[in-house]
Structure 1
C-alpha cells in the first residue's frame, strides 16, 4: 500500500500561515458515530412508526438530516472500507465481509489489485490537519484487530498510521451468559430480554463511559490529546445482533410468555389498524411474500433474500416444548401461524429495543458534551448507519440484498458552531463523507501520484449550505455474495437509486442451477421500481417494472451510472420536463407545450440551452419523436383509439452531449379522457369507538389516495383498517384521491357519530368446503344487502377483497384460492345488515 507523504509539504505551508490567523480559526472537533446494522428505523426517517430515538431526534433538530443517504455496499466490511477511504468497491475490491483482509489493513491495497494508492480518513485528518484521532470499538471493520493502529510506538502523539489512540471492549462474559440463558428466536437471530442491572456492562455503554471520561480529561487538560483538536470515532456495536438488551428498552407490546392462554397477539391486528394495538410489522403485499415469489427461482435476488430464515422461524416454533396452546378453539394451522407472527413481532421489538438503547447512549454523550461549552460549541457530530437492514420484506431478513431496506441508512450532520435544523431530500452516498470533512477542516483533497482526482464522492457542504440545491447523481451500491459457491458470488450486483426510480442489475454465476463462475453463460436479472419522488408510488418495491417496455428508457439512463459506463460516479445535469397547464384530463383538442428545464452539474439553472446539447423527445403511444429544447405536441397527433387505450401516456426526454453520450433524462405522465375521473363509494360503521370502512369501491384513474378520520392523522392505506377514536363525538371521514395532469384532488366525505355503544357480536358465515384447495364458497343469506368480502391471513394482512352486490336470494360467493399459501384465513363480510365472519383453511 502506498500512502502519499504530505508532512513535508504541510511543514512549509504552516510556515506561511500567520500564527495569529491559526489561533483565530480553531479547527472543529469531530465526533464520527457509526451505528452497526441501523436501517431507517429512526425518528425522522419514517422507517417504523413506533421507533423511539429522542436523542437522535435531538441531533436532527440541530443539524442537517440527509433523508436519502445510501451505503456503498450492504454489508459492514465493504461499506466501512469505502466510507473511510472515499473509494468505491470497484477500486477497493472489497465487495463483502469475506473479501476484507482483517489481519493487516494495508494488505487490502496492493499493486496486484491496482489499488496500491490509498488515503484513510483519520490518517489524513491526523497528518494534514493535525487532529488527535481516537478509535472506539467498531468504526473500521475487524476492529478487534486494532485496525491501522501503530501499537509499537508508546507515545500517542508520535504514532503513525490512522489512530493516536484506540479503545476496544466487547460484551462481558457475564452478559453473554445471561443473554444465552434467556435466548429467544432462531439461530440466525439471537435476542434476549435481560435485567436492567446489566446495562452498565454492555459494550456500547462502556464505550460511552470511556468517551465521557476522555472528554472530561481533555476539558481539564488538552495535553491528553497532544493539545490537538479531536477526531473521535465512536463505533456502536448495536443494533447488530445479538440483541441482548435491557428490559426497560422493550416495547410494552412484547410477548414474554408464549404459553399464555389465550395468547395475546403482540402485533398490530389487523395489520393496518390505527391507532396501533400491537407492534407494526413490515408492510407486505396482498399475497404474503408475493413480491419474493415473482423473482426468478434459483436467481440472484432470491438467493440474496435467503428465504430459509422464514422456515427457520417455523422450525423454531415447531421445536418448542411443551407446545404453546395459544387458544383451545383454533386449529393447529392457526396456532402455528399466530406463534410464527408473534416471534417475528418479538424480533422487530428486540431490534427496536436495541435501537432505543443505542439512542440512550448517544443521549448520555450529548449530556456530557454540554457540560463543556468550549468543546460543545466547536464540535461537528456525524451519525450514520453503515447500511440498512431488513425485517422480513421480500422474505428477507438481515442485510446483503440490493433493495431499499438494505441500501438506505440514516445520515445526520450537526455543526454545533452553527446549529440549524434542516432536511435535504437529495440523494447522497457515504462516499461523500471524506471530501466533506476535508472541506470542513480546510485541507486540500488528496490526489493520486499522477495528479488525478482521488475521491469517488462529492462534498456535502453545498447541500448543507442549501438543502434544496438541485443535484443529479443517482447513487450506486454494489455487492458480491460472500462465497463463490453461492448464487451471486461471482460477479458484482448493482443498485442504482435516483430520486424517483430504483434499478437493480443482478448477474448469475452461470446458467440457473449451476454455481461455478462462467460469465459466458451468466444470466442478467433486472428489477425496476418507481418508488416516487416522495415515496408515494411504490414505496415498498412490490411492482417490478423491468419487463415493461414503457420503462426501457429509464433503465437505459440508470445503467449509465454502473462501472465502465458513461456516468459512473459522476454528477450530471438535471433535466425537468415543463409544460403548459392542462385540464385534469386532457382531450384531443389540447396541445402540450413542453420544454426542457436544465440545471448544470453544480445546480445552477441554465436560462439558455447549451448549443452542444441535443434534446430527443419520444412517447410510449407510437413512433412519433421530436427534437429541440422546446416542442409542441398537439394531441390530435394521436388517434382517439390510441388515447383511449393509453389514458395515461408518457413523454420522454433524453439529453445528449456533443459526443452523443446520454447525460440527462426525464419522463412525465400525462392523462387523457375525462371519463376516467375517479369516483368513490364506501360505507361506514361504528362499534364502540372504532370506525370501519365498508364496501369501498373506487373507479377511474388516480395516482394516490389517503384518508383523514377527522383527527388530523393522514392514513395512506387505500382501504384503511379499523380506526379507533380517542373519544366519542361526531367526526368527518375524508378520502382524498389525487389524479390527473395537475395533481387534481377529489374528496369523498362521510359523517360518523361515535357514541361508544358496542354492537352485537358478528354473525357466523358458513364456508365450504373447509378445508379447501382451489375455491371456497361463502354462503350469504338472502337480503343481506350490498357488502364487502375481505380475507385476512392470521397475521392480519389483507389478502383479498371483493364487492358483493345486493341479492334477494341466498348466494354462494366464490373465493379463488389459487394464489393463496397454505394456512388459515379469516373471512369478514360487512353488509347493510351487519358483520359476518368465519375461518377456513387452505390445504
Structure 2
C-alpha cells in the first residue's frame, strides 16, 4: 500500500485566512483522532451489550471523559463524517446520504485537518476518515489509503458482501485495519519537530463482518443475547419511519433464515477485533515521547441497529442509529474516570479541538465546544443534540426526550427516563404537547435541498 503525498494549491489561501494564528500562543498539544465505522454503544463504557470484550476502549475511558449521550449529525458514513470534519450541518449543506459528494457543495469549507495544517501542525491521515468514496485530497498533506481486507471465496450468508458475516482464516496482520494502525505506530516512533494531528480510521465493525476466527470464538452462539424487542414495535410509528426501517427487507431475511444470533456474533467479533487494533495504537502512543501532550479523541461515526424496531444497519433517527461511542482525553484538563450525561454531537469535535489547541476560533462552525464539559462533566449545558436523515427529517435529543419530526409533519416522541428502548411513541398524547414545542425549537432553521447524487458510495 502506497502512501500518497498531496500538495494542494488552496493551502496558501487557507493560510492567508489565518495569518494571526502564529501570533497566538504556540500550540502545545498534539492530536490523535481515532474514528471507527458503524460502532454503536455495544462497547464496555456505554453498556449496550453485556459481556462485550473491549478492554482497550475501557482503558481509554478510564483515562478521560466518557460522553454517555453523544450523537451523530447524520446516521450514515458520508454525511456524518463530512459534517464533523467541516463543522457544517447536513441540513445546511444538503449532504444527507452516502451517495452525495460533499466537496462540490462545500467548495470553500476548511476541513478540520486543513485547519490544523494552516495553523502549523504536521498532519497525516490513514484509513477511513472521510467516507471512502469521497475522500478529500486537499485535506491531507500525507494520506495512507484504506487497504483491502481478506474475504471468503464466496459470501457465506446471502451472496453479497454488503450484508454478510463469517470468520476468515487469516491473521490480524492480513487485515486492512491492522495495516492502518501500523501507520500510526510508525508515526509515534518518529521524531516530530512540530505539533501533529494524526487521524486514524478503522473500518471494522463496518460490514461485512469478516474477521479472524479467534474473535468469533470469543462469542459462542450459545452465549449470544439478542437485543430487547417487542412485537409490532412499528405499529405506532408514522409511515415515514416505517419506510426508513424497511422491516420486509434485512429484518425479514434475518428472521426467515435464522441468522439473528449469527449476525450478532459477527458484529461482536468485529468490535473486539477493532478494540485490539485500537489497543495497539494506544500502547504505541503510551510508549512514545508524545504520551503526555497528546489529546485523544475517539468516536464512532454513527450507531447501528441489530433488529431493534425491525431495522438493521444505520439510516434511521432512533437511538440505536444515532447514539455513538465518544471519548476524549485532554492532558491537564480532563480527569480520570469522568462521565458526562450531557447531550453532545459529533459536530462539537471541530470547535473543541480548535479551543484545546489554542487555534483561532472559527465562528462559522455549527457545533459547540465541549471544553466546559471536559473541565466539569456535570456543567450546565443547554444544547440538545440534533440528528438529520434525509431532507427535512430530524431528531432532537435532550437528556430525557427524543423528538422526531419527518418532512411530512409526522412525529415520534420517546420518554427515555421511562422507555429507554423507545418502545412507546407518545407524540400524540396531549399532555406532552409542551415538551414537543420546547424540543421543536432546536430543529434546524435551514433545510437545504438535496445535494447532487452519484452511483457510487451507497454503503
TM-score, reference length from structure 2: 0.89
Distance in 2 (alpha carbons) for counterparts of 1:495 and 1:237: 26
Match of 1:280 among 211, 225, 229: 225
Q: CA deviation at 1:9?
A: 6.5
1:184 aligned residue? 157
2:415 aligned residue? 530
- The answer to whether the aligner puts 1:204 opposite 2:188 as a matched pair is no
Matches within 5 A, 1:279-318: 279-285=224-230, 288=231, 290-296=232-238, 299-307=239-247, 308-315=249-256, 317=257
Contact 2:38 2:302 in 1 (8 A): yes
Q: CA deviation at 1:4?
A: 9.6
Q: Specify which structure has the bigger relative contact order, considering alpha-carbon pairs within 8 angstroms and separated by 6 or more residues.
A: 2
Distance in 2 (alpha carbons) for counterparts of 1:3 and 1:230: 17
- The answer to whether the aligner puts 1:59 opposite 2:60 as a matched pair is yes
Q: CA deviation at 1:182?
A: 6.8
Contact 2:147 2:179 in 1 (8 A): no
Q: Which has the larger radius of gyration?
A: 1
Distance in 1 (alpha carbons) for counterparts of 2:11 and 2:292: 34
2:129 aligned residue? 139
Q: CA deviation at 1:371?
A: 2.0
CA 1:527/1:251 → structure 2, altered by over 3 Å: closer, same or farther?
farther
The alignment yields a C-alpha RMSD, in angstroms, of 2.2
Contact 1:170 1:203 in 2 (8 A): yes
Match of 1:352 among 259, 268, 290: 268
Q: CA deviation at 1:437?
A: 0.7
2:287 aligned residue? 371
Contact 1:185 1:313 in 2 (8 A): no
Q: CA deviation at 1:501?
A: 0.7
Contact 2:237 2:425 in 1 (8 A): no
2:75 aligned residue? 74
TM-score, reference length from structure 1: 0.50
Match of 1:119 among 110, 115, 119: 110
> Secondary structure of 2:47's match?
coil
Matches within 5 A, 1:607-756: none
Greater helix content = 2
Q: CA deviation at 1:125?
A: 1.0
Q: CA deviation at 1:185?
A: 5.3
Q: CA deviation at 1:5?
A: 3.6
Provide, for residues 58-95 of structure 1, a one-character-per-residue CA deviation record: whole Å limited to 9, x for no partner: 10111011110010000001000110011111222101
- The answer to whether the aligner puts 1:474 opposite 2:388 as a matched pair is no
Q: CA deviation at 1:253?
A: 4.9
2:392 aligned residue? 492
> Secondary structure of 1:74's match?
coil
1:441 aligned residue? 357
2:195 aligned residue? 229
CA 1:387/1:4 → structure 2, altered by over 3 Å: closer, same or farther?
farther
Distance in 2 (alpha carbons) for counterparts of 1:231 and 1:36: 20
1:681 aligned residue? none
Match of 1:194 among 149, 168, 173: 168
Contact 2:40 2:320 in 1 (8 A): yes
Q: CA deviation at 1:300?
A: 1.3
> Secondary structure of 1:292's match?
coil
Provide, for residues 134-184 of structure 1, a one-character-per-residue CA deviation record: whole Å limited to 9, x for no partner: 1111101136x6x332xxxxxxxxxxx321200013224xx22xx244723
Provide, for residues 72-124 of structure 1, a one-character-per-residue CA deviation record: whole Å limited to 9, x for no partner: 000001000110011111222101112225xxx3x232xxxxxx542211101
Distance in 2 (alpha carbons) for counterparts of 1:406 and 1:254: 26
Count, aligned residues: 435
Q: CA deviation at 1:214?
A: 2.4
1:704 aligned residue? none
Contact 2:219 2:268 in 1 (8 A): no
Q: CA deviation at 1:52?
A: 1.1
> Secondary structure of 1:48's match?
coil
Q: Which runs of 5+ in 2 are unaligned?
A: 1-8, 447-459
> Secondary structure of 2:290's match?
helix
Q: CA deviation at 1:561?
A: 0.9
Q: Which runs of 5+ in 1 are unaligned?
A: 110-115, 150-160, 256-265, 267-277, 318-339, 447-452, 481-490, 508-522, 566-843
Provide, for residues 411-452 of structure 1, a one-character-per-residue CA deviation record: whole Å limited to 9, x for no partner: 000124556220010000111111101101111112xxxxxx
2:5 aligned residue? none
Match of 2:15 among 7, 21, 46: 7
Distance in 2 (alpha carbons) for counterparts of 1:207 and 1:425: 32
Distance in 2 (alpha carbons) for counterparts of 1:13 and 1:389: 39
Distance in 1 (alpha carbons) for counterparts of 2:131 and 2:21: 34
Distance in 2 (alpha carbons) for counterparts of 1:368 and 1:281: 35
Q: CA deviation at 1:215?
A: 1.9
Contact 2:401 2:414 in 1 (8 A): yes
CA 1:88/1:2 → structure 2, altered by over 3 Å: closer, same or farther?
farther
Distance in 2 (alpha carbons) for counterparts of 1:310 and 1:12: 54
2:431 aligned residue? 550
Distance in 2 (alpha carbons) for counterparts of 1:12 and 1:138: 32
Greater strand content = 1
Q: CA deviation at 1:310?
A: 2.0
Distance in 2 (alpha carbons) for counterparts of 1:97 and 1:134: 24
Q: CA deviation at 1:8?
A: 4.2
CA 1:433/1:12 → structure 2, altered by over 3 Å: closer, same or farther?
closer
Distance in 1 (alpha carbons) for counterparts of 2:327 and 2:36: 12
